[in-house]
Structure 1
C-alpha cells in the first residue's frame, strides 16, 4: 500500500487548527473551573499575609503622548508600599521632561535617563539594578494598569519561593477600526485561552511584555533580559522555565493597552512576534534535550506544529494556484481552498471557542459579547496573517546576520 504523504499533509492542515482549538478550549475550561469560577474578581484585592515593597518599572522611548496617563494609573495602585522607576531610553521627544515633572510631583517616583537608545531589555535591566525591591512589576509606557493589578501579580510571587514570574491580562482599549475590534476578541478567545491552557499543563510560551511581574532573584540567576533578542519577553520566559522557575497567569491583573489598527503596523508587530518564536527555538533547543526539562517539550511541540502548519498551508495554496494554469497529477490536487463541509466544521469550532472564551472573560470586561460579530472575521484575517508572518520569519531569522543590540522602534498604536 503506497503511503500518501501529501494526503497526510493536507489532512494535517485541516485537523491541526481543530485539534488545537479543542485542546485550548479543554485547557481553558479546566483552568476556569479550577481557578476562576469561585475566585475573587479584578475589583477585589487578593488576600496576602505580607505586602512587601514592590518596584514598578516603566521602560520608555518616545512615550510623550502617553506617559502622563500611564504614570497616573501607577500612582493610583491600591498597594501599600511601592516605588515607580521610569527609564527614559534615549527618547527624542519630550518624554524625559515629562517624566522629570512627574517625579517632582510624586515622592515615590524616580527617573533614570539613558543617553541613547539601547532597547527595552537594557532599560529593564537598568531599572532592575536601581530597584529596591525583590519584586518587580514591569509595564509598557503606553499601558494603563488597573488599580488592583499590582497586588494580584505580587500575590503569586509571595506565595511560593519557586514562582519566578507572573503574566497579566492585557485588554485592548482602542477599538475604532475593524482590526481593533477583532483584536479585542483575539486577546480574549485566542491569547487568553492559550495562556489558560498552557498554565494548566505547566509551561507558558511567554509572559506578556506589556504587563508582567518578576522575582529579582530569578532574573539574576538567568542573566536578566537579553538585549540581542527581537522579543525579550519570550526569551526571558523560556530561560526562567528552563531554570525550573514557575511562571503563572493571573487574569485579574488587567492592563489596558494600545494596539496597531493599520495593516502595516499589525504586520510589523506580528512579524516581530513570529521572529521571536523562531529565535528562542534556535537558541534554546539544545538545552531542552535533558529529561529534567521535559515540561518544556509540550510548548516546543505546540510551536513546531504551528510552523509546520504554516508551510503546509503555503504548499496547499501554491498547488491550488498552479492547478489553474497546469494539469497537475491527482495526487497533488488540493480540491480547492473554498470552504466546503470541512470549512463549516472549522468555522463552527472557532465560533464555539470564541463563545466559551467570551463567557469566561465577561467578568473582566462588560459588554464583551458585542465583539462576537467582529470576531467571525478572525479566521480569514488573522490566520492568514499568522501564516504569512511565520513563513517570512523562519528564513529571515535563520539566515540573517547577527544585528547586535535590539533597539526600540516606535510601534503603531492605532487611532485613539
Structure 2
C-alpha cells in the first residue's frame, strides 16, 4: 500500500512539473515573437487613451517619494495622465510627501481616506481611488514600484490595439535582487513565474492573471464589476476571474516593465506569501461551485485547485512516507521508476528556471544556477509548510467567521 501511495504522489508531482515545462516552452516561444509584435504596434499610429494611475499607500514614506518621481518621469502625454496616490490611514509622512508633489504637479492628486473607509486593505484603498479616477484606463502600481519611463505607454498601447483585452499585464523585476540570498531566490521565482505562468499561459491559452501591480484595465470594466472585492486577500487573482467571466481576456505584454522591492527577511516573506496563499484559496472556493461563462477560466480554476490541493497533497504524502519509512519499516520497494521520477522532477525544475533566466539579460549566471539548485531543496520545500499554514488559517476564518485582516508588506530603505 505504501508503494502505491508513494508512486501516486511522485506521479502527481512529476505531472505538475511536466505541465510547467509545457508552459515554459510556450513562454520561450512567446518571447521570440513578442518583439515583432511590439515593433508592429509602435510603428502604427494609434490614439492613446486617458489614463488614471492608482497607487494605494499605507505607511509608505520609505518608498513613496521614489515611486512618485518615477510617475513624473513617465513618457506619456501629461494632459492624458493623472496619478492618484491613495493615502490610506497612514500614521507616517506618506500623505505629507504625496501632498508636496501634488502641489507642484497638477496631474498628481492625493486622496486621503476617511472613516469608515480606512484601513480596509489594498482593495478598499483602490475602490476609494477609483471614485476619483477619470481616465478611460486605470493603471495600478504598488507604492514601492518604479516603472520604466515607457511602462504606462506600453500598457495603454496594448489596450488601444487589442479591443478584446479587458486588461493588459506588464512585467516586474526585482530591484533588490542582490541584497541577500532570500532576494536572489525571490528574483528567480518571479522571473520563472512570469515567463512560465504568465507568458506560457498566454501563448497556449490566451490567458494570464492580473498581478498586484503594473497592469492596465478599462475603467468601464471596473465600474461594471463594482471595483475590487474587499474580502479578497489576493484581489488581483479574484479580479482576473471576473474579467474573464465578462468575455474579455487579459493580455501579457512584457514590454511594460516595473521594478519593485521584495522582502529582505524571512519573516516579512512568510507574512506576504501567507496572504497570497490564503487569497488564492479564497478565490478557488469562491468560484469552484459558481457557474463560469468562460471555459478557459474554468480550466485555470482547476489549475489553481490542482496546485493548492492535489500538488500540495502529493508533496505532503511523499514527504510523509519517506519520513515514516525512516522510523518504521514500510517495506518500500523504491525501484528504478521512483528514482527516475525523482531525478526527472529535479531536472525539470532546474531546466524551467534556467530557461526563464536565459530570457532576461544578465540573469543566466553561474551564481544564479547555484541559487536554482539550492532553491529546489530549500525555498520550494518551505512553500509546502507555508501553504499548510495558510490553509489552517483559512479554515479557521471560515469556521469561526473571522474578519479578513490585510497584512501590508514591510518596506526597506534602499541605499542610493
| TM value normalised by structure 1 | 0.88
Is residue 179 of structure 1 aligned with residue 178 of structure 2? Answer: no
After TM superposition, the structure 1 = structure 2 runs for residues 218-367 of structure 1, keeping only pairs within 5 Å, are: 218-288=221-291, 290=292, 292-307=293-308, 308-328=310-330, 330=331, 333=332, 335=334, 341-362=340-361, 367=362
Which residue of structure 2 aligns with residue 54 of structure 1? Answer: 51
Residues paired across the two proteins, number: 401
Which residue of structure 2 aligns with residue 215 of structure 1? Answer: 218
What's the CA shift for 1:99?
A: 0.8
Give the conservation status (yes or no) of the 8 Å contact 2:52–2:137.
Answer: yes
Determine helix, strand or coil for the equivalent of 2:83.
strand
Measure, in 2, the Cα distance between the counterparts of 1:225 and 1:48.
33
What's the CA shift for 1:14?
A: 4.3
Give the conservation status (yes or no) of the 8 Å contact 1:261–1:414.
Answer: no
Inter-CA distance 251–160: structure 2 relative to 1 (3 Å threshold): closer
Task: Indicate which of 128, 134, 137 corresponds to 2:136.
Answer: 134
Inter-CA distance 264–5: structure 2 relative to 1 (3 Å threshold): same
Measure, in 1, the Cα distance between the counterparts of 2:57 and 2:30.
34
Measure, in 2, the Cα distance between the counterparts of 1:263 and 1:187.
16
After TM superposition, the structure 1 = structure 2 runs for residues 127-166 of structure 1, keeping only pairs within 5 Å, are: 127-166=129-168
CA RMSD of aligned residues (A): 2.6
Measure, in 1, the Cα distance between the counterparts of 2:278 and 2:333.
29
What's the CA shift for 1:345?
A: 2.7
Task: Indicate which of 345, 363, 368 corresponds to 1:368.
Answer: 363
Give the conservation status (yes or no) of the 8 Å contact 2:74–2:150.
Answer: yes
Which residue of structure 2 aligns with residue 167 of structure 1? Answer: 169
What's the CA shift for 1:48?
A: 4.4
Measure, in 2, the Cα distance between the counterparts of 1:385 and 1:303.
19
Is residue 389 of structure 1 aligned with residue 386 of structure 2? Answer: yes
Which residue of structure 1 aligns with residue 64 of structure 2? Answer: 67
Inter-CA distance 269–204: structure 2 relative to 1 (3 Å threshold): farther
What's the CA shift for 1:279?
A: 0.5
Q: Deviations over 1:165-217 (max 9, x none)?
A: 11211100112101111222221123332101111233546311022111111
Which residue of structure 2 aligns with residue 120 of structure 1? Answer: 122
Measure, in 2, the Cα distance between the counterparts of 1:72 and 1:355.
34
Determine helix, strand or coil for the equivalent of 2:55.
strand
Measure, in 2, the Cα distance between the counterparts of 1:405 and 1:321.
35
What's the CA shift for 1:4?
A: 7.3
Measure, in 2, the Cα distance between the counterparts of 1:103 and 1:143.
18
Which residue of structure 1 aligns with residue 14 of structure 2? Answer: 15
Is residue 409 of structure 1 aligned with residue 415 of structure 2? Answer: no
Measure, in 2, the Cα distance between the counterparts of 1:388 and 1:396.
13
Which residue of structure 2 aligns with residue 87 of structure 1? Answer: 86
Q: Which moved more, 1:140-149 or 1:20-29?
A: 20-29
What's the CA shift for 1:125?
A: 1.2
Q: Which moved more, 1:241-250 or 1:197-206?
A: 197-206
Q: Which runs of 5+ in 2 are unaligned?
A: none
Measure, in 1, the Cα distance between the counterparts of 2:273 and 2:142.
17
Give the conservation status (yes or no) of the 8 Å contact 1:203–1:241.
Answer: no
Inter-CA distance 403–369: structure 2 relative to 1 (3 Å threshold): same
What's the CA shift for 1:96?
A: 0.8
Give the conservation status (yes or no) of the 8 Å contact 1:179–1:262.
Answer: yes
Inter-CA distance 69–334: structure 2 relative to 1 (3 Å threshold): farther
Inter-CA distance 257–228: structure 2 relative to 1 (3 Å threshold): same
Inter-CA distance 14–3: structure 2 relative to 1 (3 Å threshold): same
Q: Which moved more, 1:63-72 or 1:370-379?
A: 370-379
Measure, in 2, the Cα distance between the counterparts of 1:18 and 1:72.
41
| TM value normalised by structure 2 | 0.88
Inter-CA distance 14–67: structure 2 relative to 1 (3 Å threshold): closer
Give the conservation status (yes or no) of the 8 Å contact 1:144–1:255.
Answer: yes
Inter-CA distance 159–334: structure 2 relative to 1 (3 Å threshold): farther
Is residue 103 of structure 1 aligned with residue 102 of structure 2? Answer: yes
